[in-house]
């Protein structure tokens, strides 16, 4: 079983709440290697092109080069866990500046500290 590092952009089967189907969609790994390996799951955030909607704390991906994504996208704070065995493949990784923006959005979302 592959373990993906934090901020890896991966392709996963994403369920839709209004349909009985799943589509392959990108997501970003938020949890660390230790968590991912010990529980066999990863915490992920949705990546979408979502041109007609926005959520509070959406993060525009400013550097697509390293992500493996082909069009303008955002990291949406729609979080979920997924069994690592269901992750289809790694597409790339978020650039450092985008990682920092996701960290900021995550911290604002939970306002824990």
User: Measuring CA to CA, which residue among 102, 19, 100, 26 is closest to residue 68?
Assistant: 26
* Enclosing domain of residue 39: 8-110
Q: Is residue 2 part of a domain?
A: no
Domain count, the chain: 1
CA distances from 9 to 18, 50, 73, 86, 105 (A): 25, 17, 12, 14, 17
Q: Is residue 49 part of a domain?
A: yes
Q: Is residue 32 part of a domain?
A: yes
Residue whose token pair is 């926005």: 54
CATH code of the domain containing 97 = 2.30.30.110
What pLDDT is attached to residue 82?
95
pLDDT tens-digit map of 35-60: 999 999 999 999 998 777 889 999 99
pLDDT tens-digit map of 77-113: 999 999 999 999 999 999 999 999 999 999 999 876 5
Q: Is residue 1 part of a domain?
A: no
**102: burial class by Cβ within 10 Å (0-12, 13-18, 19+)?**
buried
pLDDT at 14 over 90: no
Give the ranges where the chain is alpha helix by DSSP (H): 33-39, 96-110
Residue 77: CB atoms within 10 Å: 19
Strand partners, 92: 9
């Amino acid at each position: 079983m592959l373990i993906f590092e934090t901020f890896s952009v991966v392709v996963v089967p994403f369920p839709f709440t209004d349909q009985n189907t799943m589509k392959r969609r990108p997501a970003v790994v938020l949890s660390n290697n230790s968590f991912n390996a010990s529980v066999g799951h990863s915490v992920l955030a949705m990546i979408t092109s979502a041109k007609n909607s926005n959520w509070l704390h959406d993060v525009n991906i400013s550097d697509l080069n390293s992500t493996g994504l082909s069009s303008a996208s955002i990291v949406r704070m729609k979080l979920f866990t997924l069994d690592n065995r269901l992750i289809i493949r790694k597409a790339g990784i978020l650039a450092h500046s985008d990682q920092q923006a996701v960290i900021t959005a995550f911290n604002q979302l939970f306002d824990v500290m």
